Amino acid sequence: MKKGEVLKLGIVPYMEGKEIQLKAFERVKKGETDGILILLQHPPVYTIGVSGGFDENILVPLEELKKKAELYKVERGGKITFHGPGQIVAYPIFNLAKWQKDVHLFVYKLEETIIKLLEEYGIKAGRKPKYTGVWVGDEKICAIGIAVRRWITWHGIAFNVNTDLSYFGLINACGITEFGVTSMQKLGINEDIEKVKEKMVDKFSEVFGIHFNEITLDRLAVIDNAKA
């Protein structure tokens, strides 16, 4: 059983969340823990991954999009997606050398974590050929976009609990035009997001074989702005 840490936060601005990831990355790189799982939400923000597709995947004038939410280009894989309240963003900062140096297997396990989580709520979810993420029918409920440096992962997954899905109507989420997005709420499940977080931690532990001790931001030596 691997030994890890979990950091549960509230709504954190995107760039502050990135700073927290980098601090966690350094802690994992130093060998102080096998992995750190960060769970939070972001204020409305669109992020564009290294696969780009900037022009064709934004469906409204850029200035209109920026009035709705912040916009950042980021280091993860994939194209444009949305983060906002009601969506659990999970950043697993894991040292894959402690598991297997296999990025495809890591992504598979991320998907498996969410599939097992949804089983707890009676929702049958799965994978879709040619696409990453977790799907319920033809609608994506969880997007995945990661980055890996020195076999340590960062960025992660975005799981829709009770997200305002109208934000996705302004973009081709993940560059996909033929399929839509969904959430637990849209599927008829109204659950407190903090309870979903707890179940998600349990499923990460089960799938990755890791025991988590809960930590605070003080452990990462960053200012706690999550409660501001």
149-198 confidence digits (pLDDT tens) = 999 999 999 999 999 999 988 877 666 666 789 999 999 999 999 999 99
| Position with higher pLDDT, 117 vs 175 | 117
pLDDT at 2: 97
Residue 227 lies in a domain: no
Residue 7 lies in a domain: yes
Q: Is the pLDDT of residue 46 over 70?
A: yes
| Position with higher pLDDT, 191 vs 220 | 191
Please state the domain count of the chain: 1
pLDDT at 115: 99
Q: Is the pLDDT of residue 30 over 90?
A: yes
Confidence of residue 51 (pLDDT cuts 50, 70, 90): low
State the binding site for substrate: 76-83, 143-145, 156-158
Q: Is the pLDDT of residue 88 over 70?
A: yes
Burial class (CB in 10 A: 0-12, 13-18, 19+), 123: middle
Concerning whether 142 is annotated as a catalytic residue, the answer is no
Domain holding 71, by residue range, is 2-220
Mean pLDDT of 64-87: 86
Per the prediction, the chain carries an average pLDDT of 91
Q: Which of 12, 115, 174, 207 is catalytic?
A: 174
Task: Please report, for the domain that includes residue 167, its CATH number.
Answer: 3.30.930.10
Residue 226 lies in a domain: no
Residue 14 lies in a domain: yes
pLDDT at 177: 61
pLDDT at 224: 44
Residue 225 lies in a domain: no
For a pLDDT cut of 70, what percent of the chain falls above it?
92
Q: pTM for the full model?
A: 0.92
Residue 32 lies in a domain: yes
Q: Are 11 and 40 in contact (CB under 8 A)?
A: yes
CA-CA distance, 53 to 173, in Å (whole number)?
11
Residue 52 lies in a domain: yes
The closest of 50, 33, 116, 42 to 84, measured between CA atoms, is 42
Residue 194 lies in a domain: yes
pLDDT at 223: 39
